[in-house]
A = this chain, B = another copy of it.
Amino acid sequence: MPVPAPNLYPPFNIVRLSHVEYRVRDLAASRAFYVDILGLQVTHEETGRLYLRAMEERGHHCIVLVEADTADVGVLGFKLYDEPDLERAERFFAEKSLPTAWAERPHMGRTLRTRDPWGIPLEFYVRMDRLPPIHQNYRLYNGVKPLRIDHFNMFSANVDASVAFYGEMGFRVTEYTEDDESGRLWAAWMHRKGGVHDVAFTNGLGPRLHHTAFWVPTPLNIIDLLDLMSTTGYVANIERGPGRHGISNAFFLYVRDPDGHRIEIYCSDYQTVDPDLEPIRWSLTDPQRQTLWGAPAPKSWFEEGSTFEGTEPVPSALKAQPIIAP
């Protein structure tokens, strides 16, 4: 099995993924998409910058939209457990000669900015402004009625190496795809918070952000979103789905925002809190791996992704390819 054993005692305690900063070229167009169509709630708005949260989140934001000339990804954010974890995280990255800096971030406490070995910009924090609960304010529910951010999925030019690095940080593999020929990892799903993943890595030109996913309670939310997008001018933004993944068993839909950033709407994966949970292996050639129901993903889904600000992606040495729709 090419998957490393879980690190039960990681150097610092990551609670969960927390937020993403998307750089967008037309903030008004992005606002229309994220707020009016997806139904995320505005928590702060200023010139060139918009903060959003989902319905059951009490932290200040899960997405920051920043108007920019280039549509890329500013940073991926993660919440740490307690104050000492910040220092421990700083030491972890510094010891690997990765860049570290203490950043001032609005609506957040002390924040460590760094990059993973392939240049993905990361930030870690313990405190973020806490907002009153709105999950029982049903008048506010709109669009797909997103409940919370669920995971990041990234292209990696070396999935084995990415899994090793994030595994060292305490992310635990729940499912993975192996290239039968080379025995190398083609993709892997890793979690901290007790679902199938907080982060996933897919073989390809990387690092790039493949998508950010939001959790909804039922497939009917996704059907509602499809109906809404189809009749409000967003039909071309629907990329793949609806369907059920083989991997993760989740019901999914992939849509693209006005800049092409990919958003997944996701529900019904399973609980993974057991530290001895056995990872599930899938062969790259299994046609039900991507979609349990058999439909292959389109070419764009395998090729397109968002670059990270300040990092140039490189091709993967692993050339194995999954089934792609004609």
Interface residue ranges, A against B (CB under 8 Å): 8, 15-16, 56, 58-59, 79, 81-82, 126-127, 130, 133, 135-139, 147-148, 193-194, 217-220, 223-224, 226-232, 235-236, 238, 242, 244, 246, 249, 251, 268, 270-271, 273-278, 280, 287-288, 292-295, 326
Contact (Cβ within 8 A) A226 B16 = no
Q: Which of B59, B79, B231, B244 contacts A226 (CB 8 A)?
A: B244
Contact (Cβ within 8 A) A56 B271 = yes
Q: Which of B219, B227, B229, B292 contacts A231 (CB 8 A)?
A: B292
Contact (Cβ within 8 A) A270 B135 = yes
Contacts A8-B82, A82-B8, A223-B244 given; indicate if A275 touches B15 (C-beta within 8 A).
yes
Complex CA distance for A273 and B79, rounded to whole angstroms: 10
Contacts A238-B293, A292-B231 given; indicate if A58 touches B219 (C-beta within 8 A).
no
Contact (Cβ within 8 A) B226 A293 = yes
Task: For the A-B complex with A130-B278, A238-B293 known, give 16 more contacts whose Cβ atoms are closer than 8 Å.
Answer: A16-B273, A58-B274, A58-B277, A126-B276, A133-B280, A138-B231, A147-B271, A194-B273, A217-B218, A217-B268, A223-B244, A226-B244, A230-B292, A230-B294, A242-B242, A326-B326
Q: A220 — which chain B residues lie within 8 A by C-beta? A: 218-220
Complex CA distance for A276 and B273, rounded to whole angstroms: 19
Give the residue name and chain of the B residue nearest to A291 (CB): B230
This chain: copies in complex? 4
Could you list 30 examples of A-B contacts with CB < 8 Å? A8-B81, A15-B273, A15-B274, A58-B277, A81-B275, A82-B275, A130-B276, A136-B227, A136-B292, A137-B231, A148-B270, A148-B271, A193-B194, A193-B271, A193-B273, A194-B194, A217-B218, A217-B268, A218-B220, A219-B223, A223-B244, A226-B244, A226-B292, A226-B293, A230-B244, A230-B288, A230-B292, A231-B292, A235-B287, A242-B242
Ordered nearest first, which 6 A-B pairs have the shortest CB separation?
A: A56-B270, A138-B227, A235-B294, A194-B194, A138-B228, A230-B292
